[in-house]
Chain A
């Protein structure tokens, strides 16, 4: 048996970064916060199972809690199995507001080219909130713009879960990927289901590639409450000559 020597520093699966933006404002106090923690805990095993069964990605997760200001709850990307095994509940911020702009900016910084591996797959971002953004005028827009300025932020699968119909607001439509509807949890008992749906979306990213239409169909199947017909963007050759780089 001839030994195999390989030049370089070794090989590994491509990282798939999954960032959860969790609303921990004062309005999340009580049952909502408990339900969110339960939902996040419930979502992780699905992701662990998916990671084990697929071939392409190593799923690395981070959690950003936000209220009046964003704060990294899990700052460094950790394997999803590790987080699942050492989960600690998020806590709400008394009197905290739902300022999303600075949170978007923080995520954008985390996805800047100098902080993201060159070989990383498209990231996924999941925003969970129970209300409208409370940013000062212009702050939501500038924060979102800073996230979308980043190539990785722009191309990320951006999912939004609204806790309560009222939370399904126009600002969330501006955040979410155009082809993926806002997932609405009418009550706290539905939060876990919506997050599982979100995890399915994340796990299907590498399977359907840029065929986000297929992804939207799958989400609608997984989330029968949603029957909207999302817009599926196409990037034509004549519009810049780019072609999606999928496997």
Chain B
């Protein structure tokens, strides 16, 4: 067990960094065709007073992993819980996050935080996931139909097999943990990409490591990034349905360059409206046809450069009014009185992915002024993103909680606003439709 350093002096300046988390999950076209559920899951929660944690997971598709949709939901739920506990522990040890001293030596190093993740976060996630799986099996034993799909000698956990990608942003640090395939991409201010999680030679694109593997602790890869030294605009977590859809083999660079431009040119509400389309496009038969789930962590300070004009993004108050996806989802303005509840997530209807407009690389879109001069346009072709009063958005959230019926969706929230989007883990709360897992062959779903 790693010992946390003593608390920092009270006058020690604290690094505060607020982050927003957007999420989206889309059932793959191949899963739709085979009547398989969305086996991905996503969750986002507050971590400590200022941090946020996001997790995505990809339940394995083979029939042997017959409860993988549950396994992925358990993975993101437990991943967020453990990250929150880590944040709490770190929150009581300010010295580890203290500013660099006069010699420029930071109080905490990436190595120390990596070790902390390896020695606390990973073992806790692995053991709790397994405990949760066993408890789930005890509460709901395998049916006869499920037993027929299991291989002889399979451990119960194999039925729940899943990957897990976890990102925690906390006071200037980005802490990452990943088992299995999928991508973690950091977007730097200059548009360059970083992929901090070490590559795993076991992942050759054909097989994956798993939480249900023989030694998941050793298969986890962790990383810590000092975002004060390497400022990030955003961090993308994506299940492999996203990367497998990308035409460019090394797509992270192109993604990062384009997203950096978007973050400077568009506001966060616009991004929130786009993210489900990205997931849907990748999950479609024009892409990987696989379940596709993304969590996009955005530095609120960067997002607030534009979004702050319209909202509280970037301030200490991180609640953001939800905005319906203009053009793809009819804006349903409820007649109910406005709610004062903060908006933590937003539901977008399941829909076909619109044709995307590919960015012209690094070329700001311009429009011609009457005087014939070129002026940089900072607005999309349809410039108006409908604004919804807080109460409307709150009602949207209630509707989401109520039916939980759509697979695609985006969560939008300030750091730690619990922005678990549809398809995300929400035990006891909002459940994605895939939580109602039914054994194959029942014709359900």
A221 to chain B, nearest CB (A): 19
User: Does A165 count as interface, using CB distance less than 8 angstroms?
Assistant: no
B208 near A118: Cβ-Cβ < 8 Å:
no
B205 near A245: Cβ-Cβ < 8 Å:
yes
- For B219, what are the chain A residues with a Cβ–Cβ distance below 8 Å? 241
Interface set, chain B 148-180, CB cutoff 8 A to A: 151, 153, 155, 158, 161
User: Does B30 count as interface, using CB distance less than 8 angstroms?
Assistant: yes
- For A56, what are the chain B residues with a Cβ–Cβ distance below 8 Å? 29-30, 285, 288-289
Interface set, chain A 197-247, CB cutoff 8 A to B: 206, 209-211, 234, 236-247
B287 near A11: Cβ-Cβ < 8 Å:
yes
Interface of B is mostly: loop
User: Does A122 count as interface, using CB distance less than 8 angstroms?
Assistant: yes
B77 to chain A, nearest CB (A): 21
A189 to chain B, nearest CB (A): 36
Report the separation of the CA atoms of residues A238 and B202 in the bound assembly, to the nearest whole angstrom.
15
Report the separation of the CA atoms of residues A3 and B262 in the bound assembly, to the nearest whole angstrom.
13
Interface set, chain A 106-153, CB cutoff 8 A to B: 113, 117-120, 122, 151-152
Of B49-57, B133-141, B237-245, the stretch lying at the interface with chain A is: B237-245
B201 to chain A, nearest CB (A): 10
B245 near A9: Cβ-Cβ < 8 Å:
no
B79 to chain A, nearest CB (A): 18
Assign chain B's interface to a size class.
Answer: 35 or more
B244 near A4: Cβ-Cβ < 8 Å:
no
Interface set, chain B 23-65, CB cutoff 8 A to A: 28-31, 33, 60-63, 65
Report the separation of the CA atoms of residues A236 and B286 in the bound assembly, to the nearest whole angstrom.
33
Given contacts A7-B258, A55-B30, A237-B158, contact A13 B357 (CB under 8 A): no
- For A241, what are the chain B residues with a Cβ–Cβ distance below 8 Å? 209-210, 213-216, 219
Chain A residue nearest in CB terms to B161:
A243
A243 near B213: Cβ-Cβ < 8 Å:
yes
B235 to chain A, nearest CB (A): 14
- For A211, what are the chain B residues with a Cβ–Cβ distance below 8 Å? 62-63
- For A8, what are the chain B residues with a Cβ–Cβ distance below 8 Å? 246-248, 251, 254-255, 258
B377 to chain A, nearest CB (A): 12
Given contacts A5-B262, A13-B287, A243-B208, contact A55 B29 (CB under 8 A): yes
B277 near A6: Cβ-Cβ < 8 Å:
yes
Query: Looking at the complex, which one of A1, A6, A9, A12 makes contact with B382 (CB distance below 8 Å)?
Result: A1
Query: Looking at the complex, which one of A2, A55, A118, A237 makes contact with B285 (CB distance below 8 Å)?
Result: A55
Interface set, chain A 1-58, CB cutoff 8 A to B: 1-14, 55-56
B62 near A244: Cβ-Cβ < 8 Å:
yes
A6 near B359: Cβ-Cβ < 8 Å:
yes
B327 near A10: Cβ-Cβ < 8 Å:
no
Chain A residue nearest in CB terms to B270:
A2
- For A210, what are the chain B residues with a Cβ–Cβ distance below 8 Å? 62
User: Does B274 count as interface, using CB distance less than 8 angstroms?
Assistant: yes
A237 near B213: Cβ-Cβ < 8 Å:
yes
B246 near A247: Cβ-Cβ < 8 Å:
no
- For B257, what are the chain A residues with a Cβ–Cβ distance below 8 Å? 7
User: Does B281 count as interface, using CB distance less than 8 angstroms?
Assistant: yes
Report the separation of the CA atoms of residues A155 and B262 in the bound assembly, to the nearest whole angstrom.
40
Report the separation of the CA atoms of residues A111 and B381 in the bound assembly, to the nearest whole angstrom.
44
A4 near B274: Cβ-Cβ < 8 Å:
yes
Report the separation of the CA atoms of residues A64 and B417 in the bound assembly, to the nearest whole angstrom.
57
Number of interface residues of A (CB under 8 A): 42
Given contacts A243-B161, A246-B61, A246-B62, contact A5 B359 (CB under 8 A): yes
Highest count of chain B CB atoms <10 Å: which of A7, A14, A151, A246: A7
B421 to chain A, nearest CB (A): 18
User: Does B354 count as interface, using CB distance less than 8 angstroms?
Assistant: yes
A119 near B244: Cβ-Cβ < 8 Å:
yes
User: Does B380 count as interface, using CB distance less than 8 angstroms?
Assistant: yes
A4 near B206: Cβ-Cβ < 8 Å:
no
- For B243, what are the chain A residues with a Cβ–Cβ distance below 8 Å? 118-119
A3 near B290: Cβ-Cβ < 8 Å:
no
Query: Looking at the complex, which one of B204, B249, B327 makes contact with A2 (CB distance below 8 Å)?
Result: B327
A240 near B214: Cβ-Cβ < 8 Å:
yes
User: Does B94 count as interface, using CB distance less than 8 angstroms?
Assistant: no
B358 near A244: Cβ-Cβ < 8 Å:
no
User: Does B212 count as interface, using CB distance less than 8 angstroms?
Assistant: yes
- For B326, what are the chain A residues with a Cβ–Cβ distance below 8 Å? 1-2
- For A237, what are the chain B residues with a Cβ–Cβ distance below 8 Å? 155, 158, 210, 212-214
User: Does B293 count as interface, using CB distance less than 8 angstroms?
Assistant: no
Scoring B residues 322 to 345 as 1 if CB is less than 8 Å from chain A, else 0, what string do you get? 000111100000000000000000
- For B215, what are the chain A residues with a Cβ–Cβ distance below 8 Å? 241
- For B258, what are the chain A residues with a Cβ–Cβ distance below 8 Å? 5, 7-8
B248 near A247: Cβ-Cβ < 8 Å:
no
User: Does B97 count as interface, using CB distance less than 8 angstroms?
Assistant: no
Report the separation of the CA atoms of residues A52 and B380 in the bound assembly, to the nearest whole angstrom.
35
Chain A residue nearest in CB terms to B219:
A241
Interface residues of B (CB under 8 A from A): 28-31, 33, 60-63, 65, 151, 153, 155, 158, 161, 181, 202, 204-210, 212-216, 219, 240-241, 243-249, 251, 254-259, 262, 270, 273-274, 277-278, 281-282, 284-291, 325-328, 353-359, 380-382, 385
Interface residues of A (CB under 8 A from B): 1-14, 55-56, 113, 117-120, 122, 151-152, 155, 206, 209-211, 234, 236-247
Give me 17 A-to-B residue pairs in the complex whose CB atoms sit less than 8 angstroms apart, sorted by A's number: A2-B328, A3-B381, A6-B281, A6-B358, A7-B254, A10-B356, A10-B358, A11-B247, A13-B285, A14-B288, A55-B289, A238-B214, A241-B209, A242-B207, A244-B207, A246-B61, A247-B288
Known contacts A6-B359, A151-B206, A244-B62, then 13 further A-B pairs from the complex at CB < 8 Å, ordered by chain A residue: A2-B327, A5-B359, A7-B262, A8-B246, A8-B248, A11-B247, A242-B207, A243-B65, A243-B158, A243-B209, A245-B205, A245-B208, A247-B291
